[in-house]
């Protein structure tokens, strides 16, 4: 290919991608498409994954777009898809970009609405997948004893001495009081 056919920026699945990147890396920049998914997708389409995106032809770009939209038609294994046995349709799907975010948020809201265990955990901002919470996941508010700075009225029990009252003079040679029992008894 000549440099006149090179394109500096391409749009794949609604994402602007630099033409200098390798195809496998460029596809993994799209939300919902990982490195492994991109590799299997390119293998099923017989496209060299180390080729630069800027040198792709229009036909190859169209094949990649169609395979991303419907991976089951391009002989992708169903276990590579991120939405198997969808709750509403029952079909296997692969969601990308904003569709993925929207579906995940709907799933979480559905679990909250039916008050499932996972829904409760999501409601209270706790770990959902069975992780330990004793030491990990302490983001948010501080946990522990909080010192209060409440001031008591002067003269009350436990209140600090007032600065207007004179402090008692300390005597250095004071004998122990007889009411205190000695330890030698």
Return the pLDDT at 90. Answer: 85
Domain assignments of the chain as residue spans, ordered by start: 3-77
Mean pLDDT of 152-166: 64
Q: Which of 77, 75, 79 is nearest to 66 (CA)?
A: 75
Pairwise CA distance, residues 23 & 42, whole Å:
9
CATH class of the structural domain 3-77: mainly alpha
Distances (CA, A) of 159 to 145, 152, 162, 163: 21, 5, 9, 12
Q: Residue 136: helix, strand or coil by DSSP?
A: coil
74-99: pLDDT as tens digits:
888 888 888 888 888 888 888 888 88
Share of the chain above pLDDT 90, in %: 18
Helix axis angle, 58-69 to 35-45, nearest 10°: 120
31-80: pLDDT as tens digits:
989 899 899 999 988 999 999 999 988 999 999 999 888 888 888 888 88
Pairwise CA distance, residues 16 & 10, whole Å:
6
Burial of 32 (0-12, 13-18, 19+ CB in 10 A): middle
Return the pLDDT at 173. Answer: 57
Return the pLDDT at 139. Answer: 73
DSSP label at residue 55: G
Instruction: Please state, rounded to an integer, the average pLDDT across all residues of the chain.
Output: 81
Pairwise CA distance, residues 40 & 24, whole Å:
10
CB 107 within 8 A of CB 82: no
């Amino acid at each position: 290919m000549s440099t006149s056919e090179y394109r500096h920026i391409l749009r794949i699945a609604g994402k602007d991608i630099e033409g200098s990147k390798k195809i496998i890396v460029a596809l993994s920049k799209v939300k919902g498409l990982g490195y492994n998914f991109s590799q299997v997708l390119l293998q099923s389409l017989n496209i060299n994954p180390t080729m630069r995106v800027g040198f792709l032809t229009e036909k190859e770009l169209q094949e990649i777009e169609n395979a991303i939209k419907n991976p089951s038609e391009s002989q992708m294994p169903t276990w590579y898809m991120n939405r198997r046995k969808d709750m509403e349709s029952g079909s296997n799907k692969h969601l990308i970009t904003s569709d993925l975010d929207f579906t995940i948020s709907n799933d979480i809201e559905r679990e909250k609405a039916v008050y499932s265990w996972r829904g409760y955990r999501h409601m209270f901002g706790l770990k959902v997948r069975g992780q330990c919470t004793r030491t990990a996941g302490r983001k948010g508010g501080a946990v522990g004893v909080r010192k209060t700075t409440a001031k008591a009225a002067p003269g009350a029990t436990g209140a600090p001495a007032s600065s207007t009252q004179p402090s008692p003079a300390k005597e250095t040679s004071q004998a122990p009081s007889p009411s205190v029992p000695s330890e030698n008894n």
